[in-house]
Structure 1
Amino acid sequence: MITLKCLTKTFNRDSASEKQVIKSIDIHVNPGDFITVIGSNGAGKTTLFNLISGAISPTSGSILIRGNDVTTLPEYLRAKNIGRIFQDPLAGTASNMTLEDNMMITCKKGFKWPVISLNKKMRQFFQKEVTCLDMGLESRMKENVSTLSGGQRQALTLLMTVLSRPDILLLDEHTAALDPRNATMVMALTRRFIIEKKLTSLMITHNMGHAIEFGNRLIMMDGGEIIIDVQGDTKKSLTIPKLIDMFGSIRNKTFENDEVLLTT
């Protein structure tokens, strides 16, 4: 589904503040992979997502999606096939629009749905889909999204993204701003939608417990490189101490990100 070849990204080239953030990454993501991505702040995780989505261009290397070279393809064209959810629950919805209007816009994303109006049939369809969130939102379809809580908005964003039928789902710490109860709820929905829709997904998380529990594959980044890539039985047998020990043996240093170490 995704192939990155010798991908690099350097900011402020040929200046005193030049910094290589992504260092010659090679990785192949298989269709249906659910990959959790961990690493200290500054490891290059979000930059990697920005490169895949087309938000920024690589300094060198190539990006292939379904075998097609999209290295120079702009973000708005890649968005037809890539859904991305950010940490901020407010980022994925339009606050001053109703739930049903937000969902109508989503259905037109990527031109995969016929251009249709918000008629009775569509309203009934949206209500049915929202019911699966089990939040009572089906009775609030004409309310502005600004009236929803952060957890409700992130759950709605997740549903809307799935309804847009992406091939690839990028989750950029999408539960980090939520309280534990809402984070648990959104993660349960995440797993359910990924399985039901057979999505290829990458999820950045600072929660090492989530990184181990969810998905079939885990990668750890450090200093712009992928230093750990485990899947299958190896991933299933992982524990947080084992993961920290793996980092130490590879990098010969202590994993120093307190946020990651304490979020288990």
Structure 2
Amino acid sequence: MIRLKDLNCTFHVGTPSAKTVIRDLNLTVDAGEFVTIIGSNGAGKTTLFNLISGNLSPTSGSVFIKGVDVTGHPEYKRAGTMGRIFQDPLAGTASNMTLEDNMMITCKKGFKWPVISLNRKTRARFKRQLVKLEMGLESRMKENVSTLSGGQRQALTLLMMVLSNPSIALLDEHTAALDPRNAAIVMDLTTRFISEHRLTTLMITHNMNHAIAYGTRLLMMDAGEIIIDVTGAEKQKLTVPKLLEMFSNVRRKAFENDEVLLVRP
């Protein structure tokens, strides 16, 4: 589904400020895999997503999606294949539009549903989908999205993403800004939707416990490189101390990042 070949990304090339944030990275993600990605600040996690989505172009190397070289394709040309959710709940919806108008945007993308008008039949269809969130949003369709809580907005963004019928989901710390209760609700919806829609998923998280508990494969990044790649039975046996030990063995230093280490299960 995704293949990254000899990928490099350097900012400010040819200047004294040049900084390589992704270096000689190779990665293959098969269809249906759910990959969690952990690493300290500056490890290159979000830059990796920007390269996959087309938000950034690599300095060198290639990006393949479904076997097609999309390295030179801009972000909008890849949008039909993938959906992305950011850490900020405000980023995935239009605040000053109603909930039903936000959902119309999903329809008009044309990935799954044909272009339709906002009529009684359409509203009934939206309500059936919103019921799945179990947040009572089906009765608030004419309210502006700005009236929703962060958890409700992120759940709505997640629903809109899967309804646009992507093959790939890129989740960039999408529960990090939420309180523990709402984060748990959104993660439950995430795992349900990934399973129901058979999405190939990459999820960046700052929570080591989440990285271990969720998904079928775990990657740890450091200084623009993938230094740990664990799957199957090995991943099932992982613990946070074991993961920290693996990091130390590879890098010959302790893992130091308060944001990650202080997160509770």
Superposition TM-score, scaled by structure 1 size: 0.99
Name 2:41's counterpart in structure 1: 41
Deviations along 1:206-243, one digit per CA (max 9) or x if unpaired, are 00010000000000000000000010000000000000
Name 2:57's counterpart in structure 1: 57
SS of the equivalent of 1:165 reads coil
Aligned mates of 2:263, 2:165 — CA distance in 1: 32
Count of matched residue pairs: 264
Quote the offset at 1:85 in angstroms. Answer: 0.2
Aligned mates of 1:98, 1:60 — CA distance in 2: 42
Quote the offset at 1:112 in angstroms. Answer: 3.5
Aligned mates of 2:248, 2:176 — CA distance in 1: 25
User: Is 1:38–1:221's contact at 8 Å kept on the other side of the alignment?
Assistant: yes
RMSD over aligned Cα, in angstroms? 0.7
Name 1:174's counterpart in structure 2: 174
Aligned mates of 1:88, 1:201 — CA distance in 2: 19
User: Is 2:5–2:25's contact at 8 Å kept on the other side of the alignment?
Assistant: yes
Name 2:136's counterpart in structure 1: 136
Quote the offset at 1:113 in angstroms. Answer: 2.4
User: Is 1:81–1:110's contact at 8 Å kept on the other side of the alignment?
Assistant: no
Name 2:90's counterpart in structure 1: 90
Q: Where in structure 1 are there 5+ consecutive unaligned residues? A: none
Name 1:255's counterpart in structure 2: 255
Residues 42/209 of structure 1: CA separation in 2 closer, same or farther (3 Å cut): same
SS of the equivalent of 2:92 reads coil
Name 1:15's counterpart in structure 2: 15
Aligned mates of 2:33, 2:3 — CA distance in 1: 13
- 1:1-264 mapped onto 2 (5 Å cutoff): 1-264=1-264
Aligned mates of 2:81, 2:108 — CA distance in 1: 12
Q: Where in structure 2 are there 5+ consecutive unaligned residues? A: none
User: Is 1:9–1:58's contact at 8 Å kept on the other side of the alignment?
Assistant: yes
Aligned mates of 1:112, 1:72 — CA distance in 2: 25
Deviations along 1:43-81, one digit per CA (max 9) or x if unpaired, are 000000000000010000000000000000010110111
User: Is 1:221–1:227's contact at 8 Å kept on the other side of the alignment?
Assistant: yes
User: Is 2:221–2:227's contact at 8 Å kept on the other side of the alignment?
Assistant: yes
Aligned mates of 1:111, 1:211 — CA distance in 2: 30
Q: Give the 4+ runs in structure 1 shifted more than 3 A.
A: none
User: Is 1:108–1:164's contact at 8 Å kept on the other side of the alignment?
Assistant: no
Quote the offset at 1:111 in angstroms. Answer: 4.0
Which stretch shifts more, 132-141 or 110-119? 110-119
Superposition TM-score, scaled by structure 2 size: 0.98
| Identical-pair percentage | 70
Deviations along 1:102-150, one digit per CA (max 9) or x if unpaired, are 0010122254321111111111010010001111111001111011001
Quote the offset at 1:162 in angstroms. Answer: 0.6
Aligned mates of 2:151, 2:142 — CA distance in 1: 19
Deviations along 1:80-108, one digit per CA (max 9) or x if unpaired, are 11100000001100011111110010122
Aligned mates of 2:62, 2:109 — CA distance in 1: 26
